[in-house]
Structure 1
């Protein structure tokens, strides 16, 4: 539901900008994953937070050497299997992991499509959450939903910020502040412990 113009802009981002876009979406979606871990008493939250910190460190200090290939292998253990859980929360957690995979791809073997894939995953996560709450709706009704409007506004602001980010620490800090979003995820979920 991003405009064709926005999708073109996402495709034109450099590999570095693609990774920043994915990282910001991952940060914003992280409460969905962390809440799921709490709900099912899965002890992956500390590892996930550590990985998120490494991503930000790499963005902030590009000369830092981090072996993201090894991190990616470790990350595979953090991905929940939907068939193992009889609850909806596994799906937003899985969507968060998909965006993490987009980020790994952007950092390790960028195709130039990672930002668009992450963007679509985040929006799809919102849409499936709303469908669970309200059942099927027309496109007009969906676009009226507050979560959809927040998602579109967030992604638009994020794209503008990433487009202008020249890699300096202030720009990346501004990006992180936007992404942390006061600890509220794309689904409106907030962890008290954040």
Structure 2
């Protein structure tokens, strides 16, 4: 299979909107455990509600005739956002999941041209923040190098490349099922965290 021309971001932006939505759905799928972990640790949030919204997105991708009120889903999503006054690491990662899913819903409601880049950045940004937190490197240039070469960042980049390649192909039901499975990543989030 020949590699499409252009860099990662150009290829993402060149995708038709349905393919972009599938890309974002897979990334949201992979970030979801971060929100669930936050909810388990704090007793706040609504992982089942978030899961239900993301399930509806997959349904819309699979069944084009599906009539889903994404305005209403966006309102629900706003209720699941963690409280802004808490600025802990876990809360910030949980907020990222809600923001990414909101960006995805915006595209389903016909808004937000750059949502796909935004979701890609959110996922990578969470990984970067996690590496910065766990590595504790003060020197900015050393930290930047550490982030670039870190196994979690390499994994994130490989994952996004794999998802992009998958959505550049034909997106029938089977392909969507496989993509969703890829996004679930065996229950391991983009931060390498699992609910077990």
Q: Retained in 2: the 8 A contact 1:18–1:112? A: no
Q: Retained in 2: the 8 A contact 1:13–1:112? A: no
Secondary structure at the counterpart of residue 7 of structure 2: helix
* Alignment correspondent of 1:173: 177
* TM-fit CA distance, 1:77: 0.4
* Alignment correspondent of 2:51: 49
TM-score, normalised on structure 2? 0.90
Q: Note closer, same or farther for the CA distance 1:130–1:76 as it changes in structure 2 (3 Å cut).
A: same
* Alignment correspondent of 1:34: 36
* TM-fit CA distance, 1:86: 5.7
* Alignment correspondent of 1:74: 76
Secondary structure at the counterpart of residue 186 of structure 1: coil
* TM-fit CA distance, 1:139: 2.8
* Alignment correspondent of 1:107: 108
Q: Note closer, same or farther for the CA distance 1:18–1:110 as it changes in structure 2 (3 Å cut).
A: farther
Secondary structure at the counterpart of residue 82 of structure 1: coil
Q: Retained in 2: the 8 A contact 1:147–1:187? A: yes
* Alignment correspondent of 1:8: 10
Q: Retained in 2: the 8 A contact 1:103–1:114? A: yes
1:68 and 1:189 map into 2 onto residues whose CA distance is: 29
1:128 and 1:140 map into 2 onto residues whose CA distance is: 14
Unaligned runs of 5+ in 1: none
Q: Retained in 2: the 8 A contact 1:37–1:45? A: yes
Secondary structure at the counterpart of residue 89 of structure 2: coil
Unaligned runs of 5+ in 2: 1-5
Q: Retained in 2: the 8 A contact 1:15–1:110? A: no
Q: Note closer, same or farther for the CA distance 1:110–1:171 as it changes in structure 2 (3 Å cut).
A: farther
1:126 and 1:91 map into 2 onto residues whose CA distance is: 12
2:45 and 2:27 map into 1 onto residues whose CA distance is: 23
* TM-fit CA distance, 1:43: 4.8
Q: Retained in 2: the 8 A contact 1:82–1:91? A: no
TM-score, normalised on structure 1? 0.91
Q: Retained in 1: the 8 A contact 2:45–2:82? A: no
Secondary structure at the counterpart of residue 168 of structure 2: helix
Q: Any runs of at least 4 consecutive aligned residues in structure 1 with deviations exceeding 3 A, and if so which?
A: none
